[in-house]
Amino acid sequence: MAQAVKKQALGRGLSALLKDPANDIKSVDDKNADKVVGNIIELDLETIDINPFQPRSNFNEDSIKELANSIRELGVIQPITVRKLDFNTYQLISGERRLRASKLIGLKTIPAYIRIANDNESLVMALVENIQRHDLDPIEIALSYQRLIEEIQLTQEQMSERVGKKRSTITNYLRLLKLDPIIQTGIRDGFVSMGHGRALISIEDQDVQASIYQKIISQNLSVRDTEEIVKKYQESQKPTSTTSKKKVILEIEESKKQTITEFFGAKISIKIAGNGKGKIEIPFHSQEDFNRILKLIQS
């Protein structure tokens, strides 16, 4: 948690740069612009306007409340992105759900990435340099990759060339952002590793993810242990095709058994294997009874 507190303090410190009217940062050529580009800064919620061109107009209230509860518990894990319009005035680019949820629980500030005039190439350089650092946690790296995709419109192939990483490596980092927010926080705080996260990604149900995550923490499970738990869960979700097939066969047996019994005048026995093969046993009690059954078969 100390790491998170340090980042918030840094964000508040940087926000002071944006409240100096005499040195307002309007482009990457202005003084202290390099400290703004690529960094997380705490912004006052009242200074951020909703983007009028936001394509989404309907927001599920229950979903916003759930996110608000998560933010109350864990904080804003993924900063919003805004565009600087004027002095201490910003317009939202992405993260309206996070913004709405933060307002709902009465937060005064929110962590944000700020885009300023002509900062495109500067932002790419800042993010690429950031990714190369050794003190970043996997979620921070994943968020940097996501920003290059969403804000700069780089493809994963182009990112691979810019940061010198395999495309598969980039994909693995980006997939971490699909994890339950609690697990993302756990990875950031070092409670679990990226390996644990990668094992949990294959489970789509975030409630199940969170349940296994709690087991990892309480039992100090390794990545291999986690993979085994995930494997067993996935196997339990597979349809039992062999069981349903056997059920059909047994239904056929019950419907035909009485007809065959009446034909031979004997209490027959039908045995069926799992692969669908089987045999019919016809009992007889004497030589005379055997000849009677044989005559029926030959007729």
Catalytic residues: 96
Token pair in block for residue 263: 């034909």
Give dist(CA 233, CA 212) in Å, integer: 10
Give strand pairing partners of 83. Answer: 91, 115
173 class by beta-carbon count within 10 Å (0-12 exposed, 13-18 middle, 19+ buried): buried
3-state secondary structure string across 178-227: HCCHHHHHHHHCCCCCHHHHHHHHCCCCHHHHHHHHHHHHHHCCCHHHHH
Q: Is residue 97 a contact partner of residue 33, using CB atoms and an 8 Å limit? A: no
Give strand pairing partners of 27. Answer: 117
Give dist(CA 101, CA 104) in Å, integer: 5
